[in-house]
Structure 1
Amino acid sequence: MEDLTQLNNLPSHIHYLLHWEKQTPDRDYLIQPFPNGEVKSYTWKQIADQVRRMAAYIQSLDLTVPSQIAIYGKNSAHWIMADLAIWMAGHVSVPLYTTLNAEGTQYVLEHSECKMMFIGKLDGKGDSWNEVKTIIPTDMPCVKLPLSPDYDAPIWEDIIAKTEPTTQPVLPVKEQLATIIYTSGSTGLPKGVMQSFATLLAPSGELRTTFEVTSKERALSYLPLAHVAERIFIESSSLIAGFTVYFANSLETFVEDLNRAKPTIFFSVPRLWTKFYLGINEKIPPKVQNILFGIPVLGKIIKQKLLAKLGLNHVRYALTGSAPLPINIIKWYRNLGLELLEVYGMTENSGYSHITRMGQYQSGYVGHVQEKVECKIDENGEILVKSPGTMLGYYKNPEKTAEDITPDHFLRTGDMGEIDSQGRLKITGRVKDIFKTSKGKYVMPVPIEQKIGNDAIIESVCVGGASQTQPVAFVMLAEEVRNKLQQDSKRDEIEAHLENLRNEINQKLEPHEKIGFFVVIRDLWTMDNDMLTPTMKIKRNKIEAKYENRLEEWYKQSKHVVWE
């Protein structure tokens, strides 16, 4: 058994890289599939060598130490190598969302004062490369990673081939600034969250101990490495524990990639868990599942086969986060034998705050505090969290830092909540999302959205209606339902379903909270039209502004379901 205590205390990711290079030089660390079907494996020794050579190249550019260096690309083995090379050269990494538009990317590059950029895996289809390439400063040094698009810049492989490894590798101290992670900007301009090596590693160290994570684990990396969750769950955790990380080739090959990785630990978001669930339901209707699952012995075999088909039959721990997952879907996975654990956290505390403990799931709650985390509710109902992952502060914004971190180092989350007698936390809304109806009554939209979002035919929902008599729910139908509507334009069945859903939910709400009507939106909310953040959260202010002028007209129709 590996000594967890000793390995949880190295100062930086670079120290861990050098540790595993020495201990297990020939063991595979990163596994990268390519579009042509080739799969490349990189050992700890090979990665450390490439990182040293790229660090030497960065040092040869004579940038002021430390400078900020951007990484713009989808997840890949070389994304992590670029991050490590930036650190080994003594600099600070700034990850960029590949879905952030040109304006947002330009803002981050300028605000963070980036002096260099790594351009990674991009295709111009599921990302913003075609727009972003036009705003990259002409004098900014760039390096193209493998799988990068066409651009006039030196190529990683060429640099590695002709550059000797650095003779002056920087070994960071744990309190040192490691990265600036920009929030997804659901309420305005993105803020640069400064995280040190300690605040990135401490949560992973605690998770490693809690879940007894060893070097034998396998994980699939596909959620954006620009997001703090993947930086903790994949990058930091794999470097601490020394386990193998597989990457996904594309959305089309995702199940194949998952089956290659056979992950033992798996973290995903509600959208994917829901997609898996609906995909199985399409092939085996729920009524048939209930009959089959109830048959002794056979039921167990079928459940195991379904998990194997999804590539999840080796998973020891499965986590879900970033948004609530409908209760019926959580129960469905648990019935299959996969106990989904919900996690709650923020960029500002490295995503390390609360988790559902095994066997202690309670509907509507995000779980207990994680190890070494404290939580309390402020007088105004706001959740305050003290975590080993708490940021150093916001980059170039000491006023906002002072506003969001209390003198005793609790982070103001902006979420409202309550803690039950068992110590479990429930999120009841956002402090700034609360609005007032024309009757002068306050409405918290998030709990209502969670109730509506639990329905399988709804992909996304936004509850608004400030200054109106009753709240209104804007709903975006699930992809499968939208596809059926295109083939058969009859709305009656869907309308009846939504009307029943509205009536059912209104029975659970206070009179002033009851939904006046649903609006089925026509134009999808996407990152491209700025209605969703890069992490797929709704931009409430943008959505409300889009429909504000039509609310009066819709109220006058006196319908329970309105089609935009």
Structure 2
Amino acid sequence: MTTPLDFFYYWESQTPQQPFLHQPINGQWKTYTYSSAGIEARRLASALRALKLPSKTAVAILSKNCAHWFIADLAIMMADLVSVPIYPTLSAASVKPIVEHSESKVIFIGKLDQYAHQRDGIPEHVMKISFPDYGPHDGISWNDFVRDHEPLKENRHHTLDTLATIMYSSGTTGTPKGVMLTYGALGHVGERVRDNLKLVPSDTYFSYLPLSHIAERALVEMVVYATGCSVSFSESLEKFAANLEEVQPTVLGGVPRIWSKFQEGVLKKISQKKLDTLLSIPLVSALVKRSIRKKLGMSRIRVAVSGAAPTPVSLIAWFQRIGVNIWETYGMTENTAYSHSNWKKIKLGTVGSPWPDVETKIDGNGEILIRHKALMTGYYKDLETTAAVFTNDGFLRTGDLGSIDDEGFLTITGRVKDQFKTDKAKFIAPAKIEMMLAANKDIDQVCVVGTGIPQPVALVVLSDLGKLKPKDEIIRSLTKTVGEVNPTLEEYEVLKKIIVMRDAWTIENNFLTPTLKVKRNAIENIYVSTYPTWYAQNGLVIFE
């Protein structure tokens, strides 16, 4: 195994002029080669060392994805410090406990949209260093910080068991925990994914999902280091589509809601009925598919990955029709996002087979257990929870329920903590029901609940397409979907109501995690007292 820093040193010395980071600023692309990025990282590392911080001191990064995120992370590694990535959308109330719990002494302030609402979460004693080019500006500027420092000449090396980063989980059910990952774990995943997917230096990534999330950190940043390829970023949300179309990456990751938004963008311009017609004409079909892929920025895609939450089979099938094969992938912060993927073969409805060297088993309660060389060493300053999440023989308890078929493909059937009991005393795992409902293109978000009522109900947020339709058409659409879903369920799982929510669930109103997963606890806390009222109303479809 090789550490991510050693991978970078290799490309820096062997292919110094190879493009590494592509950053759009004010409509112009700025490119850092492995050499120029290395010089900047070494200069920053020299400045950090001059602070005389003890080895392994925590240094936080609060920023959206950008070239300087990568450079800062490299410098932290070179300076023998420990990185603490923070989601760029978190409020001050969420930033503060992470900075304090990790005991960060320095924080990088980067590309942010709402820093005014985050600043109070940074304790006064923590040194602030602001990225150049993006704003906001607080504390000392990056350029002023590095001005009087020469780039480090020596290459700092780390043992495989050395702590590299503390990554705080996005917290769908409670307070985020600090997951400790070593250089060996990060390097192992980068190396294995590179080899398994046969990635090469000419490959191009487009990085936009938060680097503070393990999927982007491990499967993008660490794989880029291992491969020696290049990565591009988006200038802003408004320019995201245009930037992606310009880049046309060969590797692209997404979460289900992002893939759904891509689909919606296409269907806003051409109806599904018309698209079906065009795709049925042999000579026209290839041209239409090519045109759609190019407009989406996917004309060169050879690896498309979806993760973080279950992806509806119908959505994967839709992309297959236009020539984009999405590989559903499964992992979590605690196993460095390295577990299962449809990389060998796409088997719809599953998250794939295990990556090489991953051991998987299902315990007596249906929980998925994982063991391999890239598991976390534990939760930072939490020995009790660490002990509880590992079995005596070293398997990680994932907290997910699942089953393994005779080909070794894993299907996620729910979360252990997401199960709820109706007042009929029946336990229900909502994930499979939510997946079936999500196949309806009028639905953007869904959460099946049922605490304190006889049968479960579904709370849904309409998609942009659904919001354009008259109420009676939405009622027909949702009624049809429930009519298709209910016959496949056990009697105690049958949906009795579908409630259309007035407002969308967002990160800002605390109903979504930074990776766009629904916070079930937040929904329960707000609406559980209303379940009986909705349940008693006439009709299948209820509008909040």
TM-score (norm 1): 0.94
| Aligned residue identity for 2:407 | Q
Q: Is the 8 A contact 2:92 2:118 kept in 1?
A: yes
Could you say if the C-alpha distance between residues 205 and 168 of structure 1 is closer, same or farther in structure 2, counting changes exceeding 3 Å?
Answer: closer
Please state if 1:462 is matched with 2:460.
Answer: no
Could you say if the C-alpha distance between residues 168 and 67 of structure 1 is closer, same or farther in structure 2, counting changes exceeding 3 Å?
Answer: farther
> How far apart are residue 169 of structure 1 and its match?
5.0
Please state if 1:29 is matched with 2:15.
Answer: no
Structure 2 distance, partners of 1:147, 1:393, is 36
Please state if 1:546 is matched with 2:526.
Answer: yes
SS of residue matched to 1:470: coil
> How far apart are residue 245 of structure 1 and its match?
0.7
1:435 counterpart residue number = 420
1:82 to 69, 72, 76: 72
Could you say if the C-alpha distance between residues 51 and 442 of structure 1 is closer, same or farther in structure 2, counting changes exceeding 3 Å?
Answer: same
SS of residue matched to 1:114: coil
1:444 counterpart residue number = 429
| Aligned residue identity for 2:12 | E
1:501 to 450, 459, 481: 481
| Aligned residue identity for 1:432 | K
| Aligned residue identity for 1:222 | Y
Structure 1 distance, partners of 2:192, 2:538, is 54
| Aligned residue identity for 2:207 | S
Could you say if the C-alpha distance between residues 43 and 357 of structure 1 is closer, same or farther in structure 2, counting changes exceeding 3 Å?
Answer: closer
1:408-446 deviation per Cα after TM superposition (whole angstroms, max 9, x unaligned): 221101111111111111111111221222122221111
SS of residue matched to 1:130: helix
Instruction: Report which stretch shifted further, 166-175 or 433-442.
Output: 166-175
2:55 counterpart residue number = 65
1:43 to 33, 39, 44: 33
> How far apart are residue 167 of structure 1 and its match?
4.9
1:363 counterpart residue number = 348
Q: Is the 8 A contact 1:51 1:82 kept in 2?
A: yes
Please state if 1:525 is matched with 2:505.
Answer: yes
Q: How many residues align?
A: 544
1:348 counterpart residue number = 334
| Aligned residue identity for 1:32 | Q
2:102 counterpart residue number = 112
Structure 1 distance, partners of 2:129, 2:282, is 58
SS of residue matched to 2:97: helix
Instruction: Report which stretch shifted further, 506-515 or 360-369.
Output: 360-369
1:309 counterpart residue number = 295
| Aligned residue identity for 1:378 | D
Q: Is the 8 A contact 2:340 2:352 kept in 1?
A: yes
SS of residue matched to 1:245: strand
Q: Is the 8 A contact 1:123 1:149 kept in 2?
A: no
SS of residue matched to 2:83: strand
Write the mapping of 1:376-387 to structure 2, written as runs, cut at 5 A: 376-387=361-372
Could you say if the C-alpha distance between residues 92 and 115 of structure 1 is closer, same or farther in structure 2, counting changes exceeding 3 Å?
Answer: same
| Aligned residue identity for 2:428 | V
Q: Is the 8 A contact 1:203 1:388 kept in 2?
A: no
Q: Is the 8 A contact 2:84 2:167 kept in 1?
A: yes
> How far apart are residue 168 of structure 1 and its match?
5.6
| Aligned residue identity for 1:226 | S
1:166 counterpart residue number = 152
| Aligned residue identity for 1:26 | Q
Structure 2 distance, partners of 1:318, 1:363, is 15
Structure 1 distance, partners of 2:390, 2:401, is 16
Q: Is the 8 A contact 2:264 2:464 kept in 1?
A: no
Please state if 1:417 is matched with 2:402.
Answer: yes
Q: Is the 8 A contact 1:351 1:389 kept in 2?
A: no
Q: Is the 8 A contact 1:178 1:197 kept in 2?
A: yes
Q: Is the 8 A contact 2:257 2:516 kept in 1?
A: no
Q: Is the 8 A contact 1:121 1:146 kept in 2?
A: no
Structure 2 distance, partners of 1:140, 1:541, is 32
Structure 1 distance, partners of 2:88, 2:138, is 19
> How far apart are residue 148 of structure 1 and its match?
4.1
1:16 to 2, 7, 10: 7
2:265 counterpart residue number = 279
Q: Is the 8 A contact 2:207 2:232 kept in 1?
A: yes
1:134 counterpart residue number = 120
Structure 2 distance, partners of 1:244, 1:282, is 32
Could you say if the C-alpha distance between residues 395 and 456 of structure 1 is closer, same or farther in structure 2, counting changes exceeding 3 Å?
Answer: same
Please state if 1:237 is matched with 2:217.
Answer: no
Structure 1 unaligned spans of 5+: 1-8
SS of residue matched to 1:172: coil
Structure 2 distance, partners of 1:364, 1:99, is 31
Identity %: 41
SS of residue matched to 1:416: strand
1:96 counterpart residue number = 86
Q: Is the 8 A contact 2:58 2:82 kept in 1?
A: yes
1:516 counterpart residue number = 496
Structure 1 distance, partners of 2:244, 2:508, is 28
1:6 counterpart residue number = none
| Aligned residue identity for 2:265 | G
Instruction: Report which stretch shifted further, 151-160 or 226-235.
Output: 151-160
Structure 2 distance, partners of 1:335, 1:218, is 24
1:291-312 deviation per Cα after TM superposition (whole angstroms, max 9, x unaligned): 2222223311221121111111
Structure 2 distance, partners of 1:13, 1:212, is 18
Instruction: Report which stretch shifted further, 428-437 or 110-119.
Output: 428-437
| Aligned residue identity for 1:103 | A
Instruction: Report which stretch shifted further, 114-123 or 554-563.
Output: 554-563
Structure 2 distance, partners of 1:433, 1:378, is 18
Structure 1 distance, partners of 2:537, 2:271, is 37
Structure 2 distance, partners of 1:306, 1:164, is 48
Structure 1 distance, partners of 2:400, 2:134, is 38
Q: Is the 8 A contact 2:60 2:99 kept in 1?
A: yes
Instruction: Report which stretch shifted further, 333-342 or 295-304.
Output: 295-304
Structure 2 distance, partners of 1:440, 1:138, is 51
TM-score (norm 2): 0.97
1:535 counterpart residue number = 515
> How far apart are residue 480 of structure 1 and its match?
3.3
Q: Is the 8 A contact 1:219 1:246 kept in 2?
A: yes
| Aligned residue identity for 1:418 | S
Please state if 1:562 is matched with 2:542.
Answer: yes
1:480 counterpart residue number = 465
1:357-396 deviation per Cα after TM superposition (whole angstroms, max 9, x unaligned): 34x3233211101111011000111010113321111101
> RMSD of the alignment, in Å?
1.5
Q: Is the 8 A contact 2:248 2:294 kept in 1?
A: no
Instruction: Report which stretch shifted further, 108-117 or 349-358.
Output: 349-358
Q: Is the 8 A contact 1:89 1:169 kept in 2?
A: no
Structure 1 distance, partners of 2:321, 2:373, is 34
Instruction: Report which stretch shifted further, 153-162 or 415-424.
Output: 153-162
SS of residue matched to 1:493: helix
Please state if 1:211 is matched with 2:211.
Answer: no
